[in-house]
Amino acid sequence: MASDLLLPLQLTPPTVPSASAMRTLVWGFFLMFLAAGMAGAAANVSDHEPVEITSTGETTYENGIATARDNVAIHVGDTDIYGDFAQYNSRTHEVSVEGHVRIYRDVSVYLAERGVYNIETKQIRTSNARTDFHPYFLSGQNVTETSANVYRVEDSTFTTDDSPRPDFHLRARTVRVYENDHVVFQNVTFYIGKVPVFWWPYMYQSLNDAFSFTIAPADLSSWGPSLLTQITFPITDDIKGRVRLDYRGRRGIAVGFESDTDYGKDKSSNVKLKTYYLNDQNPDINPTALKRNDVPTDRYRLSLEDRTEFTKDISGIVDVTKLSDPFVMQDFYQSEFRIDPVPDNVVALAKTDPFYTLTAIARFQANDFFEQTERLPEVVLDIKRHALFGSPIFYQGETGFADLHRNFAEGSGFEDYGTTRLDSFHQLLYPNTYFGWLSIVPRAGFRATYYDKTRDLGNTLFPSSADPLVPTFILPDPTPTNPIVDAGSGVRTVFDTGVEASFKLSRTWEGVESRTFGLDGLLHVAQPYTDFSYVRENGINPAAILQFDRFEPSTQLRPIDFPNFTSIDSIASWTVWRLGLRNRLETRRDDQTVTWLELDTFADVNFDNPYDRRSFSNLFNKLRFNPLPWASLTIDSQIPAFNTGFTEVNTSVAVQPVSNLELGFGHRYLNDNPFFRHSSLIVLGGYYRLNDNWGFGFQEQYEGTIGLFQEQRYAIYRDLTNWVASFGAVVRDNTGNKKEYGILLTFTLKAFPKFGFDLNFDPGSQGQ
């Protein structure tokens, strides 16, 4: 005979059991024929898994319903059910449990006062339930499994705080849980303790992604007493959102929304949106010594950054930022401003191939208070270096068309200008190794550039400079009193040739070992190298060429070969010989070869150099020293070893002498450079972890040439179990008798996944 269900049967006589029997009493029923008779139909034995029920109290079976009391345990496949009272209905295939109900299935647990489990559909219905989907915890009045691994919860509470009284939670009218995937909330409020903070009509929460909340009281001289808040949350699996709501006592209320979206095939494309707006109550506040004019009341920032992979070899970028005024980033996004004070506005499309790269770029002036070289558009075909027809001769080239416009900032006093440029560069190389150790790469190239507009030099007076580092063939930017006079179109040709050579010498000392200095054997590699470059331009006078890809002042040596030299419009004839020596010491560490010390020394011999009219350049030394994984030293220096010039030494040291302490030191020294001010800037910072709950971070920035602490930052961090609190202070001296003071108190929910906080205290970095 077929059966619906199989339960092992063990009944005891109706006598008072012993205490031991009360704890371990086992009962069951063989329902093969009973269930079939009551249901009026037979089912195959394999249709349902056997149900095992144990308890320590009274057991009965009447009309197809098995009843158990006291310490009931029910086991069905991968599901275990516990409670004070249980009934199994063989007709409906449902197990009903009451009192301290616990349902374990796979790795999930459900806690409730009452629950129903259908062994046929494997659906769960509970009331007053609690469950967890690590690392989240969910409770509600009624929980119903609407389909496999999908639950509907009414009047629910959602949190990541694993405590009886969570510090923070979400309370929603209705929640749909897609197990191990995501949660959808409707009519949801975010609480800190018992205080409602934020409300959403709808919210999507991934069970595999981050949700975070940060609140930061602050007080900055240019802001006044302030409160900065941000909530980061997933909208879908692929879309993350962030809401910013800030209040500044001297500025007013500011709101912002940011999103981060992955899309496309394999989610390889990404788009980021940033918006921020405030009605500035005091737009004339100026924390710097530089003058400001006509700052608007309505201040905003709108940024769009997109990276799209159309196919495996076609990609595009969009990087656009629209600002209300030139100071909004400096006032409210201070960290970003330090890195990129003038945001770019560009749209580009690229086709890549092992043989070539084709790029189309449109760069435009979205903010007329910033200078911008517009390219509307520029299309460039870059042919990568490759063997020519299988021969030992290699070819590389670059050809581009550009509609160029140099637009100065509005009110700057300079006049805009533009031209159409067609540029084509071709070069042949013959790399070879001689005697098995000497590498020599001769090269020869030709470039032709057409400009539809050039500058009429007429009676132009060329600038003169006693400093050999200031080029004299580059004219000042045009003004209304000294405008550009169009001399018509022209073609410039450039011939270049040169040769690179290098070889390596090495020696090994296997016996060199030092635990203190991290040495396990030592290999010394010395590599002398040289690069000779000869360039001759003809046609248009270099001073008559309008400047777009132009000479920019720098303390570093410029490339002397093409296409690495990218200042196309500033090419002039030169003959330069670069000589250098690399020394590298390598050792073994963790079954790998690591560079223990590296020193690169080089200089230029200037036979004819329009950018440096000295006979010899500075002597450069680039030192990298990493004796141990927790210690590093970098020194980039140049000195006028042969004749007049300037001095620059940049030093950086990072150490972690003990596990709880990190220290960093940096020094920038610059003297006698004609383009940049003399500087001796010292930066010292560190972080000390006092214990499991407390930490301290600091950073000092001191300009020695004027004896001034430009910036001082201090922060104390406190672990509050479910929160991380930080209290910091900052002092900035912007010279001109303008000092700025600030304090910041930040609370961040630590229990949310992927939490992190920045040790560099900066009120302007909130929300970044």
Average pLDDT, the chain: 84
SS (H, E, C) 37-89: HHHCCCCCHHHCCCEEEECCCCEEEECCEEEEEEEEEEEECCEEEEEEEEEEE
Mean pLDDT, to the nearest integer, of 323-348? 92
How far is residue 128's CA from residue 299's CA, in Å, rounded to a whole number?
49
Query: Are 304 and 316 within 8 A, CB to CB?
Result: no
Mean pLDDT, to the nearest integer, of 493-520? 94
- Concatenated DSSP letters of 494-562: EEEEEEEEE--EEEEEEEEEETTTTEEEEEEEEEEEEEEEEEEEESS-GGGSPPSS-----SSPPP-ST
Alpha-carbon dihedral of residues 364, 369, 370, 371, nearest 10 degrees? 80
Please give the DSSP secondary-structure letter assigned to residue 429: E
- By CB atoms closer than 10 A (0-12, 13-18, 19+), residue 439 is middle
Mean pLDDT, to the nearest integer, of 404-411? 95
Residue 339 sits at φ, ψ, to 5 deg, of: -85, -40
Q: Which candidate, 758, 760, 759, places its Cα nearest to that of 230? A: 758
pLDDT, one tens digit per residue, over 13-57 is: 333 333 333 333 333 332 222 232 323 333 333 355 677 888 888
Query: pLDDT tier at 164 (50, 70, 90 boundaries)?
Result: low
Query: Are 570 and 547 within 8 A, CB to CB?
Result: yes
Buried b (16+ CB within 10 A) or exposed e, 189-208: ebbbeeeeebebeebbbbbe
Range with the poorest average pLDDT among 221-225, 263-267, 383-387, 738-742: 738-742
Q: Which amino acid is at 326?
A: P
Residues in the chain: 768
Round to the nearest angstrom and report the end-to-end CA distance of the chain: 70
How far is residue 737's CA from residue 288's CA, in Å, rounded to a whole number?
9
How far is residue 67's CA from residue 87's CA, in Å, rounded to a whole number?
4
CA angle 268, 269, 275 (to 5 degrees): 145
Position 756 pLDDT exceeds 70: no
E strands, 207-297, in order: 212-220, 224-234, 239-248, 252-263, 269-279
How far is residue 139's CA from residue 110's CA, in Å, rounded to a whole number?
9
Query: Are 68 and 27 within 8 A, CB to CB?
Result: yes
Q: How far is CA 419 from CA 372, 398, 545, 705, 728, in A?
A: 15, 20, 10, 43, 52
Strands 108-118 and 94-105: antiparallel
The residues pairing with 17 across neighbouring beta strands, listed in sequence order, are none
Higher pLDDT, 51 or 180: 51
Position 690 pLDDT exceeds 50: yes
What is the number of other CB atoms lying within 10 angstroms of the CB of residue 385?
11
571 Cβ partners below 8 Å, 6+ apart? Answer: 447, 492, 494, 535, 537, 542, 565
**pLDDT computed for residue 679 by the predictor:** 95
Query: Are 558 and 606 within 8 A, CB to CB?
Result: no
Q: Give the rounded percent of residues in the chain with a pLDDT score beyond 90.
A: 52
715 Cβ partners below 8 Å, 6+ apart? Answer: 696, 697, 698, 726, 727, 728, 729, 744, 759, 761
Mean pLDDT, to the nearest integer, of 536-555? 94
**pLDDT computed for residue 20 by the predictor:** 35
Mean pLDDT, to the nearest integer, of 87-108? 82
Mean pLDDT, to the nearest integer, of 221-249? 87
Element (H, E) at 34: helix 32-39
Please give the DSSP secondary-structure letter assigned to residue 467: S
- By CB atoms closer than 10 A (0-12, 13-18, 19+), residue 83 is buried
Query: Are 349 and 321 within 8 A, CB to CB?
Result: no
Please give the DSSP secondary-structure letter assigned to residue 725: E
Position 207 pLDDT exceeds 70: no
pLDDT, one tens digit per residue, over 254-285 is: 999 999 999 998 899 999 999 999 999 999 99
Query: How is the chain split into domains, by residue range?
Result: 1-119, 123-208
pLDDT, one tens digit per residue, over 567-597 is: 999 999 999 999 999 999 999 988 889 999 9
Q: Give the rounded percent of residues in the chain with a pLDDT score beyond 70.
A: 86
Q: Which amino acid is at 357?
A: T
**pLDDT computed for residue 40 by the predictor:** 31
How far is residue 323's CA from residue 62's CA, in Å, rounded to a whole number?
78
Element (H, E) at 298: strand 298-309
Position 422 pLDDT exceeds 60: yes
Element (H, E) at 21: helix 19-24
Location of structure tokens 């024929």? 33
How far is residue 274's CA from residue 257's CA, in Å, rounded to a whole number?
6
149 Cβ partners below 8 Å, 6+ apart? Answer: 178, 179, 180
How far is residue 577's CA from residue 535's CA, in Å, rounded to a whole number?
12
Mean pLDDT, to the nearest integer, of 465-484? 89
Helices (H) and strands (E) in the chain, counts: 4, 40
269 Cβ partners below 8 Å, 6+ apart? Answer: 262, 263, 306, 307, 308, 309
Position 671 pLDDT exceeds 90: yes
Element (H, E) at 337: helix 334-339
pLDDT, one tens digit per residue, over 111-120 is: 888 888 888 7
